[in-house]
Each structure stands twice: as structure tokens, then as C-alpha cells.
Chain A
Amino acid sequence: MVEEDTLIPVEDYLKAGVHIGTQHKTNDMEDFIYKVRDDGLYIFDIGKTDQRIRTAARFLSRFDPSKILAVSAREYGKRPAELFAKIVGGKSSVGRMIPGMLTNPNLDHYIEPEIVVATDPIGDQQALKEANTSGIPVIALCDTNNMISNVDLVIPANNKGRKALSMVYWLLSRETVKEQERLADDEKFKYEVEDFEAEI
């Protein structure tokens, strides 16, 4: 892996802990894992994570921005998911999702997204279930211990750490607006990674 080929220097990914998985791995996630560390933590191949962020951005840019829905039931993903949605022109649902939001047209909160971005297949299982029922494709940040059932595009990454989540969502936001042609290659992205960090 050549450093110049990644969206940000590899050290920046490592500093944010994007590559650090858990002590468990699923068969589903094996393709994205580089090694197991002495302390038993599985480690992602950061080159693959980087590639998938690019692919996800390209994928997202093919949808009407207002039809993008980002979800995060878990605390550390709330701020990053909300800010991502705001920047790309989509919607977000953070915290506990209202049951039926994607399946029950009689609800006030019913919406019809065309693509869902989930922060964690476990925390966001309600969203995954409803997206499945409604046939909506799903992009999900998946850690080494996640099953990827009902996920259509995996972004392999630490989806538990505060800094890791802010880094992944910051990059995904930046790359998506580039792909949407709302940010030129030589133009500076006006958000900093820190803007995405959840308060402690």
C-alpha cells in the first residue's frame, strides 16, 4: 500500500484508531481484516477501508441528496451522522428510531429514503430491518465483530470509538460532496474532523 494512494495520510487513520477492531471477528468481515494483534484485537487493512470510503461516496452521489438517510442509535455516532447528513443534503435519525419510520406510511415521521447509511449494524438493527422490509439499500460502518446481514455496502472500520467515527464520517462527507460536484478538487472543505467529534 502506497501512502499517496490514500485519502489522508495513513498515520491520521491510525491516530484516530479507525483500524482498530474488536477481539472478535466474523466470517463476514474476514476479507477486510489485516491481522490480529498480540493483545487479541483484530486490525483492519486500512487500504481497504480507504477504498470503501471512496466507493461509498461515489455510490451516495448517485442518489438524490434529500433521499439519503443517516442513522445512529448509539451515542458516539449521533453527532457525526447528523453532521454528515446535513453536509450532503440528506436526513438523519439519531437515538432510538421511531418504529415504522421506513415502513408505515400512516406515521407522521414516515420517510422514504433511497439509501440508508448506518453507523453500526447492531445498534441500528431497527433501521436495517426496516430498510430490508422496504427494499432500501444500506451502507454500513462495520466493525470486525459485525454480521453484515442486510448490508449492501460495507465500510470496514472501528464503529465504536469517538475519534474513529468522526474521522470516517468527516471523510465520507468530504468525498461525497466532491462526488456530488459541490466541492472542487482544489477547494478547501470547510469542516474539520473535530467538528464531527461527539462531546465527551
Chain B
Amino acid sequence: MSDEDEIRCVSCGITITGPAFTSFPCPECGEVTIARCKNCRKQSNHYKCSECGFIGP
């Protein structure tokens, strides 16, 4: 898999493998795919859209 194919958690930067992570279009602008790892979801860590600056959750 090329580096472009790697999915990284937008909050902690970890390369995501396996199930139980989630990814979705930025709720605000829909332009960027937001991926959150299991841990960041669990800890409710913030994520930020690189396109519009939206901060979730």
C-alpha cells in the first residue's frame, strides 16, 4: 500500500489499521474525510478539519 493509501487519525496521527475506527466527511464542509482512531473516539479527543477548521466532536 502506498503512503497515500494510509489512513491516519486526524487527532493523534496514528496510522489506522483494523476495525473500529471511523471515517466520515467533515460534518461542516464535507470536503475532507475525517478519520478517528478507536482510542481518540473513546477518549473523545478533538478533531479539526484541515479544510474549514471545524472542530469536533
Contact = CB atoms under 8 A, between A and B. Distances in A.
A132 B41 CA distance: 8
Chain B interface residue number, banded: 20 to 34
A151 B57 contact: yes
A152 B30 contact: no
Contacts of A115: 24
Contacts of B43: 149
Interface in A112-142: 115, 132-137
Nearest to B36: A152
B30 A149 contact: no
A188 interface: no
B31 to A, nearest CB: 11
B44 A28 contact: yes
Contacts of A28: 44
Contacts of B41: 132, 149-150, 152
The 5 closest A-B pairs by CB, nearest first: A59-B27, A137-B24, A148-B44, A135-B22, A153-B27
